[in-house]
Amino acid sequence: MRGLRVLILICATVSAMAAMWMMRSALQSQANLPTPEQQLAAAQPAENPVEEPVTSQVLVANRDIPTGRVLGPEDLRWQAWPEDSVSENFYTEGEDVDAIETLTGSASRLVIVEGEPITSNKIVDLNGTGVLAALLRPGMRAISIPISEITGAGGFILPGDFVDILLTRQVLIEEIDEETGEVERSAKLNQTDTIMKTVRVLAIDQQLNESVNAASVGNSATMELTPEQAELITLTRQMAQQDRGFLTLSLRSFKEMIDEYGDDIDKVLPVTVLDLRTLVAERMKAADDSRNNYMKRARKRSAKAKIEAERAEAEAALEAEKLAKAAAAASSVAGSTTQAAGPTADTPAPPSTVTLIRNGRPIVVHTITPNSAGSQ
């Protein structure tokens, strides 16, 4: 009897556990079912399906292209490029299918890295002209100056870099006597000035590219200047030779150029800081002023001397006139005395006198009668 009760109790326990497990499974299945909103959203099609990006075939550099390289077919290739990033300056296969053949024989104006799109402002058509002439921007001129290891930043200046041009020369300082117009004291001092800044270097010697990044000392640097600046740098070289001076290239930081000009770095123009033509004009004006002041002082001294001479001459004439009157009065008195006493054979006649003026001074000359001359 007791065993039957135990068996019933065990069966009831197992049945309860089974019921609990079945209820739990049902609850979990109901929780995993999608909500009505989820079922409705799943039944509707997606409004913004993911689309494949639209691309265009753009002409890019097949390898690194240095400045001045004449392009060949191996330097260019077509590459997929996002359609919304295609610039109007790019060459696309849809509009320029023969671009590789067309650009073959052209030259690179700037450095183009591998994979960079080819743009019209980085390529120049030679059309039979020299490479350097093709690299010049419209309105610009190429001019060279001598450099050395010292004046060329140790050979680390390369084509495409930007530099400042410095002039070192001897400056003559003179102290002029305002009375005589002569130089009393002179001294020569060394002076350095920045003539131009942000000047683009086109070539070192005859190298137009910077494929060799190692330092290479050159003898000349060719730079891009405006026509007016080309005249100025020629004058600067001449003044440097006359004043025992020299020109120095000061290399500018390329990062500084990028930070300052950004994408417009290819449009940077050289800036004139010191125009030596103005300095020459100032020197010429100073020399003319000094000469004119000296001539004015000389004319004043001459006029003063002339006035003093005329005054001395007038005073001498007045004195001579006084002496002449005194001599005439003395002669008159002597004549009257002789006439009252009467002449004798032994007493000679008094000599007559003549007053002459020599060098502004009166001279009294006594004449001698023949009788008195004979007695002498």
Contact yes or no for 325/318 (Cβ under 8 A): no
Distance, C-alpha 90 to centroid of its chain: 35
**Paired sense of beta strands 162-176 and 107-108, if any:** unpaired
pLDDT of 222 reads: 92
pTM over 0.85: no
Average pLDDT for the chain: 77
Q: Encode pLDDT of 327-347 as tens digits.
A: 777 777 666 665 555 555 455
- Quote the CA–CA distance of 33 and 42 in Å, as a whole number: 13
Burial class of 243 by CB neighbour count within 10 A (0 to 12, 13 to 18, 19+): middle
pLDDT of 164 reads: 95
**Paired sense of beta strands 246-251 and 271-272, if any:** unpaired
Residue showing tokens 């004015």: 296
pLDDT of 373 reads: 46
Question: What number of residues does the chain have?
Answer: 376
How does DSSP classify residue 70?
Answer: B
**Paired sense of beta strands 183-204 and 162-176, if any:** antiparallel
Q: Averaged in consecutive runs of 10 residues, what is the pLDDT profile of the chain (376 residues)?
A: 68 76 68 58 57 85 85 92 88 89 86 90 74 82 89 82 91 68 72 92 77 66 93 89 87 88 82 82 69 75 82 82 79 63 52 57 57 46
Domain ranges of the chain: 55-124, 139-274
- As a CATH number, domain 55-124 is 3.90.1210.10
Residue showing tokens 């299918």: 97
Long-range contacts of 306-309 (CB under 8 A, 24+ apart): none
pLDDT of 63 reads: 92
